[in-house]
Amino acid sequence: MKKLVTSFLILSFSIICAEPIVPIPKSINYDHKKAQLGKKLFFDTRLSKNNTISCASCHNIYEGGDDNLQYSFGIDAQEGNINSPTVLNAGFNFRQFWNGGAKNLQAQAEGPVQNPVEMGNNFSNLIKTLNNTEYKNLFAKVYSNGITKNNITDAIAEYEKTLITPDAPFDKYLRGDKTAINLDAKEGYELFKSKGCIACHHGINIGGNLYNKFGVAKATHSKRLGRYEVTHNEDDKYYFKVPTLRNIAQTAPYLHDGRYNNLKDVVRFMAQYQLGRVITQEEVRKIVIFLKTLSAPVKEIQ
C-alpha cells in the first residue's frame, strides 16, 4: 500500500502530461495603422537624444531580434550593462525586461527611450521633436490626441506585437509534420523534457512565462540582481525572467550577461548551474540540434 502511494506520487512528478510547448499562431490580430506607425518609429533614430539610435539598433528583427553583442551600445557609444533580449515574439512574454520590470510591450517601450545609456532622451523632448516632423500628421491620423507618450509607446508596442516567427520547424513538427525535424532533434526534445529544462522553458514562447533563479544548484556570480532590482525582496535576488528559446540559435551571446557565445556551452551551463545534474556531450549535442529547430524568419507586416 505504502509502496503504491509512493509510486503514484513519483509517477505524478513525472514531468510531462500534455504537450508542454505550443506552436506560435500563424497570424495575430493587430491594429494595422498603429503597427505601421509603430514600425516607422521602431526604425527611427530620432527617438534617441542625438538621432543615432533606434529601437532596431539593438533589436535587429532580421537577425534574431537582438544585436549579437554581449552588451548593447547606446548613444555616444555608451555600453549597456545587460544583454539585449530579442524583440521577436516578445509579445508572448508574460513580462518584459530581464527583471520583469515592464508589465507589457508598451511599458517596455518607455524604458530604452529614457535610459541614459540607451537613447538618452525624454518624452517631452521627443514629443516636441516629433511634432516638428511628418509624425505630427501621421499620429493625427491614428490618434485623436496626436503625439503623446502613451501614443508613441502604444504604436511601438502594436508593431512589436506583430513581430512573431511562426513556422519554425519544431512548430511544424508539433502541428503534425513528423519530418519537419530530424531524429537527433526529436531525441534532443525528449532530453530537453526529461532533464527538466521543460520545467522552465515551456509554453508558447518556450520560456518567458516565469522567473527563476540564475544558479539554482550553484552560484553563478551574476553582477545583476534580477527581479530584486524591481521588488527589493531578498527572495527575488538573482531571479530573472526565464528567456524565450525561440530563435535561440540567432541570439548569441547568451544569458543576461552574455557570458556564453555558443549553445553547447550554455546548455552545459544550464545543466550544471540550474538543474544541478550531469549531462553528456551527446545529450548536449542533441539538445542543441533541437534548439536550432526553434528558429524561423519574422513575419513581416505589409
Q: Catalogue the active-site residues.
A: 118
Q: Which residue has the cell 531578498?
A: 234
Binding site for other proteins (CB under 8 A): 6, 9-10, 12-18, 20, 22, 94, 103, 195-196, 198-200, 202-204, 209-213, 216-217, 227, 231, 233, 235, 239, 275-278
Element (H, E) at 211: strand 211-213
Quick one: 172 or 213, whose CB is closer to other proteins? Answer: 213
In terms of CB distance, is 53 or 157 closer to other proteins? 157
* Helix spans in the chain (H): 2-13, 32-42, 55-58, 105-114, 123-131, 135-142, 149-161, 169-174, 183-194, 228-231, 263-269, 281-292
User: Given the complex with other proteins, which of 136 and 277 has the nearer CB atom?
Assistant: 277
- Closest to other proteins by CB, 140 vs 217, is 217
- Dihedral of CA atoms 127, 132, 137, 138 in degrees, nearest 10, equals -60
- Under DSSP, the state recorded for 239 is E
Closest CA to 55 of 209, 163, 136: 163
The nearer residue to other proteins, 132 or 144, going by C-beta atoms, is 144
Give the β-pairing of 239-241 and 211-213: antiparallel
Contact 243, 291 (CB under 8 A): no
Contact 134, 62 (CB under 8 A): no
Determine the 3-state secondary structure of 49 from DSSP: coil
Residues in the chain: 302
**CA nearest neighbour of 34 among 129, 120, 108, 141:** 141
CB nearer other proteins, residue 36 or residue 108: 108
Considering the complex, what minimum distance in angstroms separates the CB of residue 233 from other proteins?
Answer: 7
Classified as helix, coil or strand, 254 is: strand
Asked if 237 contacts 225 with a C-beta cutoff of 8 angstroms, the reply is yes
Q: How far is CA 1 from CA 8, 10, 11, in A?
A: 11, 14, 15
